[in-house]
Structure formats: structure tokens, C-alpha cells
Structure 1
Amino acid sequence: MKIITNYLSIIFGVCSAFFIFSIILDVAKAQEQPACPSGQITDSNGSCSPSSQGQNSTSMASAQGFFRSGRKLAKQGQSQDAIAEYTRAIELDPNYAEAYFYRGNTLALEGQPQKGIEDLQKAAAIFTSRGESERAQAVQQHEEIIRRGIQEGEF
């Protein structure tokens, strides 16, 4: 168990760095793009969509706030509180792939690997639907590590 947990922690760190870098690039791209037309909002993947889809800019900002809070709590070792914050972010933005990714990893590390895998699958599907195949592949590789840990009785 300790070997798999250490391995997952290392992989999680590498994936986290990859996701943070890609989030920075996404923010830079968003700043280069013009604002959405009136009556539309920017969703979590940077696309304009009608605000009538049940999300407004306030809920998007709140989702990002909960996500950032979850990351902070996870870094402080407060995993259960982090999971709750990721869940709030997902409730506000059901397409928040990064929140699914981090919640899935945290769940796996906290002894709920099957729930973690479900979140990782959701994150990979969202990344795939956005055309972000590299990110989807990274998530799928992480999912495979967790599956092997389950098969080997590490979880």
C-alpha cells in the first residue's frame, strides 16, 4: 500500500504541474480573446455559451473559487474538506474537468479508489470533448495506475 500511495503521490504531483501549466496557458489564451457577446458567458473551457444554460458568470467565478479553496486545503492535508470544495465546484460547473481530476485523485488517496476512477473518467471525457487529447491521456494514465493498485490489493 505504501509503495502505491507514494507512487500515486509522485504521479499526482507531476499531473498537477501539467494541469497548472495548462491552466495558465488557458488563462493567457482567454485574455487574448475578445469578451463574449451580450447574453453569453465564458464557460470553464473558454467557450462562449448562452447564459440561459443555467450558468452565469457569478457561478463560474464561484466554481473557480471553490476549486482554488480545494487545492489549498489539499496542500494543507485537509483531504475531506478539499473533496467537499471540489464537489461544490462541480455542482456549480458540471464540466469542470480539473475539479473532477483533483477530487478523483484525492478520493483514491483517501481510500475510495473506485469513486476516484469514476471522477477521472469524467475528467478524461470532458477533456476529450474539448479536444484536449493530451490532458485526457494523462488522466487516463493516472486512472490505470489506480486500477493496477486495486488489482494488486494496494487499496
Structure 2
Amino acid sequence: MKSKRKKRLYFILSLCSVAIVCPTIIDSKAKAQQQSACYIVVSGQVRDSKDLCSPNTGKKKLISMVSAEEFFNNGREFDIKGQHQEAIIEYTQAIQLDPNYVEAYFYRGNALALEGQPQEGIEDLQKAASICESRGQSEWAAVMRQHEEIIREGIEDGEF
């Protein structure tokens, strides 16, 4: 029973990944490949980054170009590799830059649960549901609550 719930959790996580992240990444990479010279994909947009290509570029400039979406995408990459602790760090940075980043709360909540911190994961899912409700996205809020319930059941069954 325990492994069934975890498999379901991974399955739902995978479906959400495909629906949320893949189209953005594919589109961004395609745009970047069409360009020549020194470009970077930031928040799904291809930008000229000739300043970053110069050998005198300081680290500050690079850090200032980093967005919540980039941290989120890094977190997804870690999650896909099963590196949940690293993913949690990236999602946390995305949330610090954008405290209303629903997807970052959702995925961090799942990663926390998978890393043995289910209560913290539930709190993230509750926050994500709350943000969705405040935006009038009741269907997405319901999805967050369903996921929260899956984690609660896992706690009751001693899975976490």
C-alpha cells in the first residue's frame, strides 16, 4: 500500500511536470538555437547577453539576471534526477524571489514529502491552494488539496 501511494505521488508529479515545464523549456531552447552569438534564456525569453560573454563580467551581473523561473526550472531538473534536497533549495530561492509562485510551492511540497518532511510539504501545498483560491483558480486549488490529502494519507499509513 505504501509503495502504491508513493508511485501515485511520483505519477502526479510527472504529469504536472509535463504540463507546466516542458512547453516552456522546449520553446525557449528552440528560440536560443535559432540565434547565434551570445544569448541566454531568461524567464522563457531569449536575451542578448554579450556582457556575460566578456571575460571581465562579474558574478553580480549574472546573479542579478537570475529569476524565480530559472530557480524553479533548476529545481525541476534536480527533482527529475531524484535530487530532492537540491530541488528544495532551488524552489525555496524561487519562492523568495516570487512569494506567489504556485508551482514552486507545489513542487517543493512534494519534494519535502519525499524527503521525509511531509508536514512541511503539506504547508506548501496549503499555501499553493490559498494562492490559487485568491486568484479565482478553484480547480487548481482543488488539485493542491487533493495532493495534500495524498500526503496526509501517507503519514497515517506510516509511509513518511
Tell me what 1:132 maps to: 137
SS state of the match for residue 71, structure 1? Answer: helix
Residue 3 of structure 1: CA displacement?
Answer: 2.5
Determine what percentage of the aligned residue pairs are the same residue: 59
Q: Equivalents in 2 of 1:150, 1:130: separation in Å? A: 30
Report if aligned partners of 1:101, 1:119 keep a CA contact under 8 Å in 2: yes
More contact order relative to length (CA 8 Å, sep ≥ 6): 1
CA distance in 1, matches of 2:78, 2:91: 10
Shift of 1:18: 4.3
TM-score of the two chains, using structure 1 as the length reference: 0.70
**Which residue of structure 2 lines up, in the alignment, with residue 68 of structure 1?**
73
2:52 is aligned to none
Is there any run of 5+ residues in structure 1 with no aligned partner, and where? 25-57
State the partner residue of 2:97: 92
- Per-residue deviation at 1:13? 2.0
The 8 Å contact of residues 91 and 104 in structure 2, kept in 1 or not, is answered as yes
1:127–1:136: 8 Å Cα contact kept in structure 2? yes
Quote the offset at 1:22 in angstroms. Answer: 9.9
Instruction: Give the C-alpha shift of residue 124 in structure 1.
Output: 0.5
- Once the two structures are superposed, residues 12-63 of structure 1 have per-residue CA deviations (whole angstroms, 9 ceiling, x without a partner) of 2233344448989xxxxxxxxxxxxxxxxxxxxxxxxxxxxxxxxx979611
Q: Whole-Å Cα distance in 2 between the matches of residues 19 and 143 of structure 1?
A: 19
Aligned counterpart for 1:147 among listed residues 136, 145, 152: 152
Two-structure CA RMSD over aligned residues (Å): 2.3
Deviations 1:82-115 (A, max 9, x none): 1000000001111111100000011111111111
Provide the TM-score with structure 2 as the length reference: 0.68
Q: What amino acid does structure 2 have at the position aligned with 1:15? A: C
Kindly tell me: are residues 19 and 135 of structure 1, through their superposed partners in 2, closer, same or farther at Cα, counting changes over 3 Å? farther
In structure 2, the gaps of 5 or more residues are 26-62
Q: Does 1:3 align with 2:4?
A: yes
Q: Which amino acid aligns with 1:154?
A: E
2:101 is aligned with 1:101: no
**1:74 to 1:133, Cα distance in 2 relative to 1, 3 A:** same
Instruction: Please tell me whether the aligned partners of residues 21 and 73 of structure 2 are also in contact (alpha carbons under 8 angstroms).
Output: no
Q: In structure 1, what is the Cα distance between the partners aligned to 2:84 and 2:103?
A: 16
Letter in 2 for 1:134: E
